[in-house]
């Protein structure tokens, strides 16, 4: 049977052989398998969002809004050690969060004490101009809340929208030309541009999720800190290179 990246089945130690290589994703995969709690698709979604965000956005505090288990925030710090900390913000913290933090800190000791969880509504956390705000599968209006919070703070942003609710989301009048979900995301990109942001529209592999549009944005005057370093191989147990594998 094919190893589907879209599966919601949990990764366990039985899957360790699928991550036997020396690349960074293999190292992260082995750690996630040891936690024995994370759905497979969550690993691949977090990886694909993080590596695309880090191609554009260096440094800054990472704020994972609606972050749940927090894997995305951890990977952002693994990819770029110049970020001082990661903050996972959500109304609740799932049991998997503590297990993931433990195995990831075990694999990357430099993460110890640098990733924290804030149990709070997203509209109550204070964001800063130097933050990198991330959100993976922010459902319905949650994506719009994340975008508005980032704009207000003039922070950089990477969001993977999900669940486009036609009673709560705005298609910007574009739904006569395209399907509703695409219209909503196009309107979001236009909103960011109208508020003084530079926008990048990308996708993560559809084999992971059909809801794969990734919206990245930064204030138009912001230097993105783009780097051309090669992918971290993982041969140094605490390597600090930004991953550039794939597109």
Domain locations in the chain as residue ranges:
13-219
Residue reference for tokens 């809340």:
145
Interatomic CA distance for residues 34 and 240, integer angstroms? 22
Give the DSSP per-residue string, 71-111. HHHHHHHHH-TTS--EEEEESS--HHHHHHHHHHHHH-GGG
Interatomic CA distance for residues 212 and 231, integer angstroms? 23
The token pair that represents 5 in the structure block? 């990246």
CATH code for the structural domain at 13-219: 3.40.50.150
Residues 188, 193, 196, 201, Cα dihedral to 10°: 80
Mean predicted confidence (pLDDT) in 191-202: 97
The pLDDT tens digits of the residues spanning 89-130 come to 999 999 899 999 999 999 999 999 999 999 999 888 999 999
The pLDDT tens digits of the residues spanning 169-179 come to 888 999 999 99
Predicted confidence band at 80 (pLDDT cuts at 50, 70, 90)?
A: very high
Predicted confidence band at 4 (pLDDT cuts at 50, 70, 90)?
A: confident
pTM of the prediction? 0.87
Interatomic CA distance for residues 228 and 245, integer angstroms? 10
Q: What pLDDT is stored for residue 230 in this prediction?
A: 34
Interatomic CA distance for residues 47 and 53, integer angstroms? 10
E-assigned strand segments in the chain: 62-65, 86-90, 115-119, 132-139, 156-162, 197-203, 213-219
């Amino acid at each position: 049977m094919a190893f589907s990246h879209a599966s919601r089945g949990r990764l366990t130690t039985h899957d360790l052989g699928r991550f036997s290589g020396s690349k960074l994703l293999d190292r992260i995969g082995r750690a996630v398998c040891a936690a024995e709690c994370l759905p497979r698709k969550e690993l691949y979604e977090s990886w694909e969002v993080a590596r695309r965000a880090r191609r554009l956005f260096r440094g800054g505090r990472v704020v994972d809004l609606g972050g749940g288990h927090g894997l995305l925030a951890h990977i952002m710090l693994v990819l770029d050690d110049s970020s001082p900390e990661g903050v996972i913000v959500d109304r609740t913290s799932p049991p998997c969060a503590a297990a993931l933090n433990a195995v990831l800190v075990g694999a990357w000791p430099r993460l110890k004490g640098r990733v924290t969880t804030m149990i709070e509504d997203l509209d109550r956390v204070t964001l800063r101009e130097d933050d990198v705000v991330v959100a993976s599968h922010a459902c319905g209006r949650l994506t719009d809340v994340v975008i508005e919070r980032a704009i207000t703070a003039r922070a950089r942003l990477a969001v993977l929208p999900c669940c486009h609710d036609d009673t709560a989301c705005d298609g910007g009048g574009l739904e006569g030309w395209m399907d509703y979900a695409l219209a909503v995301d196009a309107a979001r990109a236009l909103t960011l541009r109208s508020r003084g942001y530079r926008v990048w529209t990308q996708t993560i592999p559809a084999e992971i999720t059909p809801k794969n549009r990734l919206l990245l944005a930064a204030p138009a005057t912001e230097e993105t800190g783009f780097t051309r370093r090669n992918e971290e191989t993982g041969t140094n147990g605490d390597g600090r290179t930004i991953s550039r594998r794939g597109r």
